[in-house]
Amino acid sequence: MASSSSKLVCFALALAAATVLVAPCAAQNSPQDYLDPHNAVRSDVGVDPVSWDDTLAEYAQSYAAQRQGDCAFVHSGGSYGENLFCGSAGADWSASDAVGSWVDEKQYYDHDSNSCSAPEGKSCLKYFPVVTMTPRYNQKSMAFSSWKLACIGLAFAAALVAPCAAQNSAQNSAQDFVNLHNAAREAVGLGQVHWDDNVAAYAQSYAAQRQGDCTLMHSTNRPYGENIYMGPAGKAWSAADAVGLWVEEKQYYDHATNSCSAPVDKSCGHYTQIVWRDSTAIGCARVDCSNGGVFIICSYNPPGNVIGQSPY
């Protein structure tokens, strides 16, 4: 496992190299699990298969993160074709549930007349993008959508966004990250941090970028302070693992002299960011990477670790 923290501009960064998935759930919500049902339906009507696109997946991940707080069934208004799915609490909704509900609309669509006989409350518009052939979807002409789909799923039943959050929220929820930070801050007499959805959206967006490689690399041109963590394949690393590792650096930090005695492969920067008095808003994200590892990021506003200043 490894982690790294950010400093402000002109501060030398010492790199130690932002939904909630576990291995049993990834098997039901992997990119291939989204591709297979799409391509099965397309094959049935003689349409070429779609392929996975990391750029589209990143867009889907970012928007799903925005909806994580309210699960509102609202389209993103972006430039891609888009299907949404919202599953109510109480079930581990999966890729097959989402795509299956879209494909169910096939029964209402008549290809010969290019018409839809869906009853009130139903439509054919989710089925159309699944079997798209042309570059852009037009609702008025009932033409088809884009070659590659941004399958945005809500209620954690979507493209790479916490399909099993119900099982893991107790270990990786916003409150878990907040509580862990506040425990460390309270130990040195500091006020609490609170969760900020805008900061969390940034963390989630960057975590999505790291999902393909799990590289312990900071985001560039970031407006926030930043701690990052990478856990190797084989364990469902949690918020407690990441924040716990960062807080362990407390042993190397001397507040009286505002100095750090960490060995070469360690630092104090993750800990000092957590206890930076003025960093009062946080947002964190956790993703399972394609290599089986876990990437976790926490962002901080305002950023801490200003060179020459004491955290508190």
Return the domain boundaries, the chain.
Answer: 2-22+164-301, 24-151
pLDDT at 196: 97
Say which CATH topology domain 2-22+164-301 has. Pathogenesis-related Protein p14a (3.40.33)
pLDDT at 29: 78
3-state secondary structure of 143: coil
pLDDT at 133: 62
- Of 2, 6, 1, which Cα lies nearest the Cα of 298? 6
pLDDT at 12: 31
Domains 2-22+164-301 and 24-151 share a fold: yes
> In this structure, what token pair is assigned to residue 58?
């990143």
Task: Using a cut of 0.85, tell me whether the model's pTM lies above it.
Answer: no
pLDDT at 44: 86
pLDDT at 87: 75
Distant-in-sequence, close-in-space partners of 163: CB < 8 Å, separation ≥ 6? 21, 25, 28, 29, 92, 93, 94, 95, 153, 156, 157
pLDDT at 130: 83
CATH 3.40.33.10 holds for 24-151: yes
> In this structure, what token pair is assigned to residue 261?
């005695």
pLDDT per position as a tens digit, 182-193: 999 999 999 999
pLDDT at 163: 42
pLDDT at 194: 98
Which residue ranges of the chain lie beneath pLDDT 50? Answer: 7-24, 136-148, 155-167
For residue 310, the tally of other CB atoms under 10 A from its CB is 12
> In this structure, what token pair is assigned to residue 145?
């959508």
Residue 278 near residue 231, CB atoms below 8 Å: no
